[in-house]
Amino acid sequence: MEFQKKQDDGRRAIRNKQLIRVVQFLSCMLLTTFVGQAALAQTAVEIELHNTASAEDDFLCWSPVKARVRLAQTQSSDKTVSVSGTVSGNGRLQFSAQSATSLTSNTYSPNDQINIELPANGGWVELFVSGSKASDGSKDVSIRVAEATSGSELGLLPVMVRVRKNANNLSQVEKSNLLNALASLNGHQSAIPTESYEKYANAHRVAFEIGIHQGHMGWPLFLAWHRAFLLSLERELQQIDPTVTIPYWRFDEDNSNIFTPDFMGTVAGSTSPFGTIVQFSQTNPMLGWRMTSGGTLTRLRDSSTRLQNVYPPSRFQLLHLIMDGSGANEYGGSVPANGINSQLERRHHNYAHDSVRGWLGSGASPRDPLFFLLHANVDRAWAEWQAKLGKFNKSEVSAYSAQGAYPGSGGSSTPFRKSSYAQDVMWPWSQDDGSSTPNDSQDNWPSSGFAFLPSPSGFAPVGDPTPASMIDYLGMLNSTDSTGFCYDHINYFGEVQ
């Protein structure tokens, strides 16, 4: 229902947008006819985000994206207008009239309101817009264009500042949107389970062979591969409901709102003393969460109190030093165990998986959707480290340790398999199964049929993801590299709140 509602909302928004333009056009015509040229102070404008008329791509986060405005009708003279964001909902916007094809976090200087000059001939004027405060699960903020002198409104474009948030603090609408999208992807509306969701669990399993874990062995992929994996699912969910993002599970903080029958389920109140079968409420779309292989979702424990109470703080000392920038400041590290890639894996990630167990404790752990909330938190911690230490240069070995591309068959002298190097397209998105090089066993992959969906908003990566394309995820060094996802507490300028 919610899914259908969202689709209807989307269609309604497009219709409204078209209607606004028709009304604006008719208003102009009337004014022109009956009032004459002098009355053209009421001229309407057209506004587009990502330089398309479609409402489907009207989403952004902290990174600056292109927008454009023009007069709907040619005029006798240029017109000065103000551009700002509405303040009725939760989302907030900022703008910059800088003329450039792309920006960096050092060159972007946005304001809450800017004035621009619209040419009389109806030509587009480009500007940059970014979010400064997150929306609450819908297009609750609009780009507002008004007459610079009188303040009369000339046009509105509803958009959403869509960012990943702490799952413990989601609004009811945000939770509901996420659960409905997950259930829809997993085929809950149909009687027969589909593999649309389960393919993630299967891919994760096989991908172990390319070294997506065990960073302390020197394998570089853990953080970069899982970032792409999260984004892959997120885009698939957004195809169902464009307002959805993957929230993060702060397993190192209170998370009592996550493990409830109405959200991610609970093992509290299960049928037996140390019950393991996850309980959902009757109204939770996740009720009956299933895989084609059968079985019901199990967890040993609900939350991560174990993580805080059982593991001695001394185990986290090295990670804390690295996160503060006072420890090793490399992605991989000359001693692999001490790089951020290994430390986040061994401390945050492994302990979180281990604290829950059941489906989340095995190689097929993405079967439990909690997997993605867990990994969003690991990714968030990596993003925080990147922001604090400025590790966004995809060509630097300290930002990603396996630079270059797979050098070809080198036997044991080639440390990593194809798919691991910065310029390699990662499996399962790579469609290269290595059949053209039969003597090289390091580049053989099963065909996955796994597609990395392009962003309707044109966010990177354009094409299939490489580790390099995951590094400057905010587009801080080049706004065109922005992947379109952001965390609520790390802004475009690398400030961690």
Residue 269 near other proteins by CB under 8 A: no
User: What does the DSSP assignment read for 61-116?
Assistant: -SS-EEEEEEESS--SS-EEEEEEE--SSS-EEEEE----S---TTT---BSEEEE
Please state, as a whole number, how many other Cβ atoms lie within 10 Å of the Cβ of residue 404.
Answer: 12
Q: Which of 417, 421, 429, 430 binds other proteins (CB under 8 A)?
A: 417
Residue 68 near other proteins by CB under 8 A: no
Question: Contact region for other proteins (CB under 8 A) — 70-78, 89-97, 140-148, 344-352?
Answer: 344-352
Residue 217 near other proteins by CB under 8 A: yes
Task: Look up residue 218 and give its two tokens.
Answer: 């020197």
Residue 120 near other proteins by CB under 8 A: no
Place of tokens 């990714």: 379
Q: Which of 209, 254, 324, 433 binds other proteins (CB under 8 A)?
A: 209
Task: Check if the beta carbon of residue 113 is closer than 8 Å to that of residue 133.
Answer: no
Residue 36 near other proteins by CB under 8 A: no
**Least separation in angstroms between CB 301 and other proteins:** 9
Residues 428-447 vs other proteins: string with x where CB under 8 A?
Answer: -------------xx-x---
Q: Which is nearer to other proteins, 38 or 191 (CB)?
A: 191
**Least separation in angstroms between CB 451 and other proteins:** 21
Restricting to residues 362-391, name those near other proteins by CB under 8 A: 362-365, 367
Torsions phi, psi for 131 (to 5 deg): -85, 145
Place of tokens 């509602």: 5
Please state, as a whole number, how many other Cβ atoms lie within 10 Å of the Cβ of residue 52.
Answer: 15
Contacts of 216 (CB under 8 A, 6+ apart): 336, 337, 342, 345, 346
Residues 300-339 vs other proteins: string with x where CB under 8 A?
Answer: x---------xxx-xx-xx---------------xxxx--
How far is C-alpha 52 from the chain's CA centre?
Answer: 21
Site size toward other proteins, by CB under 8 A:
70
H/E run at residue 223: helix 221-240
How far is C-alpha 89 from the chain's CA centre?
Answer: 21
Q: Is 78 left (phi over 0), alpha (psi -120 to 50) or beta?
A: beta
Q: Which is nearer to other proteins, 308 or 480 (CB)?
A: 308
Q: Which is nearer to other proteins, 36 or 273 (CB)?
A: 273
Q: Which is nearer to other proteins, 34 or 274 (CB)?
A: 274
Question: Contact region for other proteins (CB under 8 A) — 154-162, 211-219, 229-237, 452-460?
Answer: 211-219
Residue 359 near other proteins by CB under 8 A: yes
Integer angstrom CA distances of residue 245 from 365, 382, 405, 484: 20, 18, 31, 11
Residue 111 near other proteins by CB under 8 A: no
Task: Look up residue 463 and give its two tokens.
Answer: 């094409």
Enumerate binding residues for other proteins (CB under 8 A).
188-192, 204-209, 211, 213-214, 216-219, 271-277, 282, 287-288, 290, 293-296, 298, 300, 310-312, 314-315, 317-318, 334-337, 345-346, 349-351, 353-354, 357-365, 367, 412, 415-417, 441-442, 444
